[in-house]
Amino acid sequence: MMKTYEVTITETLQMTVPSRAGSHEEAEEIVRKGWKDGRYVLDASHFQEVNFRAEEQIRVREQE
């Protein structure tokens, strides 16, 4: 009997951005704001890895 599986695909994109700041927290916040504002757009050229995870889909019987 064939089962149904839900397969989750997770792609990781990565970009390194230099940031001048007084601390690593400030540097992250500066880049985070820049990313939210659209200054850093990651695309297929920033591809790092992909993972696949399959889980069996469990059917729940409806109560009659």
Mean pLDDT of 51-62: 86
What is the reported pTM? 0.70
pLDDT tens column, 16-35:
999 999 999 999 999 999 99
pLDDT score at 62 = 67
Confidence band, pLDDT 50/70/90 cuts, at residue 49: very high
Q: Rounded distance, CA 57 to CA 39, Å? A: 40
Query: Could you give the CA distance from residue 34 to residue 42 in angstroms, rounded to a whole number?
Result: 12
- Residue 63 pLDDT grade (very low, low, confident, very high; cuts 50, 70, 90): low
Tokens of 26: 């400030």
User: What was the pLDDT predicted at 61?
Assistant: 72
Tell me the backbone φ, ψ of residue 42, rounded to 5 degrees.
-90, 140
